[in-house]
């Protein structure tokens, strides 16, 4: 456990519903971690997608009573935010050193060491899923299993690279402007189900996500985006990944084919895929109920956890 001076605990029950925020100092800067639950239980860490944090990326899942009961009954939750993505984050100094995906994966190790955690369960969405997969490859003994939602694992295609460069330019010149938020919402949600049209208004989850995006600083989002846009291909290491892996993907996600391809590269003895209908990338928000039964079976297959429903 790190010295108590390295942690700034904030009692924020009104915001985090009983969770406690810690700012953990790492080699690459401070990381916000929201701890929720009994710390004597096995740990489940979460990592969100680009421009999101635990509220905008995992709230739907943890507000789903059955899923929340399943997870909190069996785990202590550690919500890790990418640098500068936590609630109330200050702008990252433009002169600060840019972080690569390896730096972000190494920060997770430092967080685990700070809290005295051994092997953990991991849950990540899209860019966050990539960071956790990379972490599992680098530190195999520290991961019990992976729950990946609409994951990335290859280097960016030319289409994604160009799309990300457009977003980088928007962030640089205009910050979190309206067009950028629309591009991000299209990344997260299914257009037909969540983003609305002239006849059907936007759903509540999209409106809430749009409001939360207003709180992000463009410079902070750009740092994470640049790290993800420069990511290496993880294909060669997937067959050697021995932790159990459960992949969810919405059939309307722009990363649907990526998730299918990742599943084909994993060892089938240790992996499973769940395709969710009428859903975009963020299954945790659009269709959290669809995750319940697959997660129950997934947890029951883990010998290292005394699972209870």
The 10s digit of each residue's pLDDT in 207-232 is 999 999 999 999 999 999 999 999 99
**Which is higher by pLDDT, 201 or 139?**
139
- Comparing C-alpha atoms, which of 81, 77, 58 is closest to residue 115? 77
The arithmetic mean of pLDDT across residues 173-178, rounded, is 95
Would strands 29-36 and 20-26 be described as parallel, antiparallel, or unpaired? antiparallel
Backbone φ and ψ for 178, nearest 5 degrees, come out as -60, -45
Please state which of the ranges 30-44, 69-83, 171-185, 198-212 shows the lowest mean pLDDT: 198-212
**3-class secondary structure, 274:** strand
Please state which of the ranges 126-130, 234-238, 297-301 shows the lowest mean pLDDT: 297-301
Q: How far apart are CA 68 and CA 75, in angstroms?
A: 10
Q: Is 259 within 8 Å of 150 (Cβ atoms)?
A: yes
User: Does 11 have pLDDT greater than 70?
Assistant: no
Please state which of the ranges 186-195, 215-224, 245-254 shows the lowest mean pLDDT: 186-195
User: Does 103 have pLDDT greater than 80?
Assistant: yes
Which pLDDT value is given to residue 308?
Answer: 58
Which pLDDT value is given to residue 44?
Answer: 97
Q: Is 280 within 8 Å of 286 (Cβ atoms)?
A: yes
The DSSP code for 27 is T
Q: Which fold has domain 21-302?
A: Rossmann fold (3.40.50)
Residue linked to tokens 């369960």: 121
Q: How far apart are CA 32 and CA 24, in angstroms?
A: 6
For residue 143, the cross-strand partners are 120
**Which is higher by pLDDT, 98 or 54?**
54
Q: Which two tokens stand for residue 37?
A: 């639950």
Altogether, the residues listed in the chain come to a count of 309
- Comparing C-alpha atoms, which of 51, 16, 36, 63 is closest to residue 288? 63
Share of the chain above pLDDT 90, in %: 75
Write the DSSP assignment of 56-107 as a string of letters: HHHHHHHHSHHHHHHHHHH-EEEEEPPTT-STTPPPPPTTSPPPPHHHHHHH
Would strands 76-80 and 43-47 be described as parallel, antiparallel, or unpaired? parallel
Which pLDDT value is given to residue 14?
Answer: 30
Backbone φ and ψ for 259, nearest 5 degrees, come out as -65, -40
The 10s digit of each residue's pLDDT in 77-88 is 999 999 999 988
Backbone φ and ψ for 170, nearest 5 degrees, come out as -60, -45
**Which is higher by pLDDT, 277 or 192?**
277
**Which is higher by pLDDT, 104 or 18?**
104
Q: Residue ranges per domain, the chain?
A: 21-302
Which pLDDT value is given to residue 10?
Answer: 35
> How many helices and strands, by DSSP H and E, does the chain display?
13, 9
Q: Is 143 within 8 Å of 136 (Cβ atoms)?
A: yes
The 10s digit of each residue's pLDDT in 283-307 is 999 999 999 999 999 998 886 566 5
- Comparing C-alpha atoms, which of 92, 95, 73, 94 is closest to residue 83? 92
Which pLDDT value is given to residue 303?
Answer: 67
Q: Is 271 within 8 Å of 147 (Cβ atoms)?
A: no
pTM value > 0.75: yes
| Confidence band of 1 (pLDDT split at 50, 70, 90) | very low
């Amino acid at each position: 456990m790190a010295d108590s001076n390295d942690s700034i605990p904030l009692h924020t029950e009104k915001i985090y519903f009983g969770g406690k925020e810690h700012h953990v100092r790492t080699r690459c800067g401070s990381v916000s971690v929201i701890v929720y639950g009994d710390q004597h239980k096995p740990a489940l860490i979460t990592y969100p997608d680009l421009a999101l944090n635990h509220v905008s990326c995992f709230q739907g899942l943890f507000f789903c009573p059955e899923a929340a009961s399943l997870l909190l009954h069996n785990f202590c939750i550690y919500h890790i935010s990418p640098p500068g993505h936590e609630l109330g984050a200050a702008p990252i100094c433009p002169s600060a050193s840019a972080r690569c995906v390896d730096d972000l994966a190494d920060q997770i190790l430092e967080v685990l060491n700070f809290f005295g955690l051994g092997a953990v369960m991991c849950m990540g969405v899209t860019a966050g899923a990539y960071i956790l997969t990379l972490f599992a490859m680098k530190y195999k003994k520290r991961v019990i299993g992976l729950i990946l939602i609409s994951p990335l694992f290859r280097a960016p295609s030319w289409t994604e690279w160009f799309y990300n460069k457009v977003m980088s330019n928007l962030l640089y010149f205009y910050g979190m402007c309206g067009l950028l938020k629309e591009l991000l919402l299209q990344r997260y949600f299914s257009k037909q189900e969540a983003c609305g049209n002239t006849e059907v208004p936007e759903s509540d989850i999209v409106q809430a996500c749009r409001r939360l995006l207003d709180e992000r600083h463009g410079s902070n989002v750009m740092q994470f985006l640049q790290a993800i846009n420069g990511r290496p291909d993880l294909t060669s290491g997937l067959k050697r990944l021995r932790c159990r892996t459960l992949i969810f993907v919405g059939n309307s996600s722009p990363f649907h084919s990526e998730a299918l391809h990742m599943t084909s590269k994993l060892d089938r003895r240790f992996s499973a895929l769940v395709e969710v209908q009428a859903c975009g990338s963020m299954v945790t928000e659009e269709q959290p109920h669809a995750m319940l039964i697959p997660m129950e079976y997934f947890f029951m297959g883990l010998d290292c956890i005394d699972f209870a429903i």
